[in-house]
Amino acid sequence: MTTLPEVGTNWSELRDRLQKMKQADYAWRVGRVPVFLYHHTEELLRISQEAYIEFFNENGLGRGKAFPSVAKLETEVIEMGIGLLGGGPRAGGTFTSGGTESIFLAIKTARDWARKEKGIDRPKIVMPVSCHPAASKAADYLRMDVVRTPLRPDFSPDIGLLEDAIDERTCMIYASAPGYPHGVFDPIEEIGAIAKNRGFWFHVDACVGGFLAPFVREIGYPIPAFDLSVSGVCSLSADIHKYGFGAKGASLLLFADREYQKYQRFEFSNWPRGTYITDTFQGTRGAGSIASAWAVMNTLGHAGYREIARVIMDAKQRLVEGIEQINGLQIIRPSYLCILLYASNDPRVDIYAVADRMDEMGWYVGKSVTPKAIHIALNPVVARALDDYLTDLAASVAHVRSTNMSE
Ligand SMILES: Cc1ncc(COP(=O)(O)O)c(C=O)c1O
């Protein structure tokens, strides 16, 4: 058990120890971790880090008075997000610590809206089963019920079954743009029409797609309508710390109408120190991630994000072609964006054994359960490692097949 040292150790020794600890990690800087982190260039990483350090000690909780700088940065980031994601003049938003917090706050807002506007005490949310667990986590914390409805064979939601799941306690429909498991965009326009007709809150989880899909569309790929401009959409989450390339601790929760934010706000007056008001789950909030988001977004602009989109889409094409040439593997379903699934079509090649073999070769590999497949989410640093990835993948498949034949 580690105990607090009696006396301190000098920084250079501690830094050495930190760096040594990292040696056991997967080598993300050379593209071996296609999940958990997003990396474009060393230059962009340095800008993100320097901006973060510049606001390392400021506190987002004090944005109202103590740190007008933080308020300005945050407002500009939110406004850039609204502009990018189809918000009109009435739109509003909040900078949060990540997808989970954005989703939590969207669900809390919908719950309090339903209690007030519809008199439903324990509201229910209906969503396709592919929606991120963060939605069920939030509902659990917030004492709400969730019904997760089945998908069609192409992994899109079965809208008939989604509608069948609606009952008198339903207050919210939740869908993804795209969902993480399969990279599929739920039909946001179709669900938006249902939500609008029946008077439900509709949240779009664009945590993955929010900062990638608009730029993939800008470079000419077809992307279905998914943002705040779609009729019926009330709120949308988009993570800056994913394809926005900001430091971790950065997401946006955006509302089609900022009036809704009154249901988001927490206000508490029974406290000797005075009234306490926050829009976020967090109280004290690091301002570093806000400054990093601001700096990265202003460094990249549309042109920089388009370049990233191009690198990702080219890499996906190369990956699809490379996998199709490996005997025993098949692409499950080409997706719109960065997520790709591939499986085995040879009984002698167990895809999880291939994943384990890749893991032994130093690749962090995502195993999809339904369908049984390997899951990969591309970002530029992974794209640069693609030739090595495909070489090791072919070798892993051959290894698994030969092990099976010799048994
Ligand atoms: C679609 C989707 N929503 C929400 C989340 C949760 O985001 P975070 O891990 O930033 O809380 C993720 C994470 O991968 C996601 O893919």
For residue 406, the model assigns a pLDDT of: 64
Confirm if 248 and 98 have CB atoms less than 8 A apart: yes
Question: What string of DSSP letters covers 356-374?
Answer: HHHHHTT---EEETTTTEE
Task: Find the mean pLDDT for residues 380-388.
Answer: 94
Exposure string over 342-357, b if 16+ CB within 10 A, otherwise e: bbbeeeebbbebbbeb
Spacing, Cα 239 to ligand 1 middle (Å): 8
**Tokens 């260039």 sit at which residue?**
41
Spacing, Cα 262 to ligand 1 middle (Å): 25
The pLDDT-based confidence of 23 (bands split at 50, 70, 90) is very high
Q: Which domains does the chain have, with CATH numbers?
A: 50-298 (3.40.640.10), 301-406 (3.90.1150.10)
Residue nearest to atom 9 of ligand 1 (CA): 99
- Beta carbon of 207 within 6 Å of any ligand 1 atom: yes
SS3 letters across 163-211: HHCCCCCEEEEEEECCCCCCCCCCCHHHHHHHHHHHCCEEEEECCCCCC
Task: Find the mean pLDDT for residues 282-302.
Answer: 98
For residue 405, the model assigns a pLDDT of: 74
pLDDT tens-digit map of 78-124: 999 999 999 999 999 999 999 999 999 999 999 999 999 999 999 99
Is the omega angle on the peptide bond into residue 187 within 30 degrees of 0, that is, cis?
Answer: no
The number of the ligand 1 atom at minimal distance from the alpha carbon of 180 is: 16
For residue 231, the model assigns a pLDDT of: 98
Spacing, Cα 318 to ligand 1 middle (Å): 26
List CB contacts of 291: < 8 A, sequence separation 6 or more: 51, 52, 54, 55, 70, 73
**Please, what is the average pLDDT of the chain?**
96
Q: Could you tell me which residues are beta bridge partners of residue 201?
A: 172
Q: State yes or no: pLDDT of 260 exceeds 90.
A: yes
Helix then strand then coil, in percent of the chain rounded to 5, is 45, 15, 40
Spacing, Cα 237 to ligand 1 middle (Å): 9
Alpha carbon distance, N-terminus to C-terminus of the chain: 44
Confirm if 105 and 262 have CB atoms less than 8 A apart: no
For residue 2, the model assigns a pLDDT of: 96
Question: Rounded to whole angstroms, what are the CA distances from 331 to 209, 320, 340?
Answer: 21, 7, 8
Q: State yes or no: pLDDT of 195 exceeds 90.
A: yes
Structure tokens at 344: 């085995």
For residue 66, the model assigns a pLDDT of: 95
Task: Find the mean pLDDT for residues 160-182.
Answer: 97
Sign of CA dihedral 20, 25, 26, 30: negative
For residue 63, the model assigns a pLDDT of: 87
Spacing, Cα 293 to ligand 1 middle (Å): 17
Question: Rounded to whole angstroms, what are the CA distances from 57 to 60, 222, 281, 289, 291?
Answer: 10, 43, 19, 11, 11
Q: What percent of the chain has pLDDT over 70?
A: 100
Integer Cα distance of 178 and 157 in angstroms:
12
pLDDT tens-digit map of 146-165: 999 999 999 999 999 999 99
For residue 98, the model assigns a pLDDT of: 98
Structure tokens at 341: 């699934």
Task: Find the mean pLDDT for residues 225-252.
Answer: 98
Integer Cα distance of 8 and 367 in angstroms:
43
For residue 235, the model assigns a pLDDT of: 98
Q: State yes or no: pLDDT of 327 exceeds 90.
A: yes
List CB contacts of 296: < 8 A, sequence separation 6 or more: 44, 47, 48, 51, 240, 244, 245, 246, 247
Q: Which of 131, 239, 280, 339 to mutate to test the pocket of ligand 1 (most atoms within 8 A of CB)?
A: 239
For residue 335, the model assigns a pLDDT of: 82
Residue nearest to atom 16 of ligand 1 (CA): 180
Q: What are phi and psi of 365, to 5 degrees?
A: -120, 130
The pLDDT-based confidence of 62 (bands split at 50, 70, 90) is confident
Residue nearest to atom 8 of ligand 1 (CA): 99
For residue 407, the model assigns a pLDDT of: 58
